Copies of this chain bind each other. A is one copy, B any other.
Amino acid sequence: MLEQIDLKKKLSKKEFQKEFPEVQEKLRQVQADLWGAGVPMLIVFEGWDAAGKGLAIEKLVSRLDPRGFKVHRIKAPLPEEKMRPFLWRFWTKTPPRGRMAVFDRSWYGRVVVERIDKEIKKKQLPESYEEIRSFERQLFDDGAVIVKFWLHISKKEQKKRFQACEADKYLSWKIEKEDWKHHRQYDEYTQAVEETLERTSTSFAPWTVVEATDAHWSHLKIFKTIIEAGLQGLDRKRRREAALQVKPAVDTEQITRHTHPTILDKVDLSLKLDKKKYEDELKKLSVRMRELEFEIYKARIPVVVTYEGWDAAGKGGNIKRIASQLDPRGYEVVPIAAPSAEEKAHQFLWRFWNQIPKAGHITIFDRSWYGRVLVERVEGFCHEDEWRRAFQEIKEFEGNLAEFGAVIAKFWIHISKEEQLRRFEERKTSEYKSWKITDEDWRNRDRWDRYEEAVLDTLENTSTTYAPWTIVEGEDKYWARIRTLRVLTEAIERRIS
Binding site for B on A (CB under 8 A): 1, 4, 6, 8-9, 11, 19, 123, 126-127, 130, 194-195, 198, 201-203, 206, 208-209, 217, 220-221, 224-225, 227-228, 231-232, 234-235, 238-240, 242-246, 248-250, 252, 255-257, 259, 261, 263, 266, 388-389, 391-392, 395, 459-461, 463-466, 468-469, 471
Contact of A221 among B259, B261, B263 (CB under 8 A): B259
- Within the complex, what minimum Cβ distance (angstroms) separates A216 from chain B? 9
Contact A1 B464 (CB under 8 A): yes
Contact B232 A252 (CB under 8 A): yes
Given the complex of chains A and B, what is the CA–CA distance between A148 and B486 in angstroms?
A: 35
Minimum-distance CB pairs A-B, first 7:
A239-B243, A243-B243, A203-B392, A126-B126, A224-B257, A203-B389, A1-B463
Query: Which single residue of chain B is at the shortest CB-CB distance from A240?
Result: B243
Residues on the B chain within 8 Å of A468, using CB: 1, 4
Interface of A is mostly: helix
Contact B464 A203 (CB under 8 A): no
Give the residue among A194, A203, A228, A388 with the most B Cβ atoms within 10 A. Answer: A203
Given the complex of chains A and B, what is the CA–CA distance between A396 and B374 in angstroms?
A: 35
Residues on the B chain within 8 Å of A255, using CB: 224, 227-228, 231
Contact A248 B224 (CB under 8 A): no
Give the residue among A11, A217, A239, A244 with the most B Cβ atoms within 10 A. Answer: A239
Residues on the B chain within 8 Å of A388, using CB: 203
Apart from A203-B391, A238-B249, list 20 A-B contacts with CB within 8 A.
Answer: A4-B463, A4-B468, A8-B266, A9-B259, A19-B259, A126-B130, A130-B130, A198-B464, A201-B391, A201-B395, A206-B391, A206-B461, A220-B259, A224-B255, A225-B257, A228-B255, A231-B248, A235-B246, A239-B244, A239-B246
Contact of A201 among B239, B245, B461, B471 (CB under 8 A): B461
Q: Say yes or no: A249-B261 contact (C-beta < 8 A), given A4-B469, A203-B388.
A: no
Contact B194 A465 (CB under 8 A): yes
Contact of A259 among B11, B130, B198, B242 (CB under 8 A): B11
Given the complex of chains A and B, what is the CA–CA distance between A255 and B246 in angstroms?
A: 32
Residues on the B chain within 8 Å of A11, using CB: 259
Contact B252 A231 (CB under 8 A): yes
Residues on the B chain within 8 Å of A259, using CB: 9, 11, 19, 217, 220-221, 224
A-B contact list, 19 entries, CB within 8 Å: A1-B465, A4-B463, A8-B266, A126-B126, A126-B130, A194-B465, A198-B464, A198-B466, A203-B389, A220-B259, A224-B256, A224-B257, A231-B248, A234-B249, A235-B246, A238-B246, A238-B249, A239-B243, A242-B246
Contact B231 A249 (CB under 8 A): yes
Given the complex of chains A and B, what is the CA–CA distance between A389 and B19 in angstroms?
A: 30
Contact A195 B392 (CB under 8 A): no
- Within the complex, what minimum Cβ distance (angstroms) separates A268 from chain B? 12
Residues on the B chain within 8 Å of A461, using CB: 201, 206
Given the complex of chains A and B, what is the CA–CA distance between A295 and B178 in angstroms?
A: 46
Contact A6 B240 (CB under 8 A): no
Given the complex of chains A and B, what is the CA–CA distance between A127 and B126 in angstroms?
A: 8
Residues on the B chain within 8 Å of A220, using CB: 259
Contact of A202 among B249, B392, B466 (CB under 8 A): B392
Given the complex of chains A and B, what is the CA–CA distance between A123 and B125 in angstroms?
A: 12
Contact A228 B249 (CB under 8 A): no
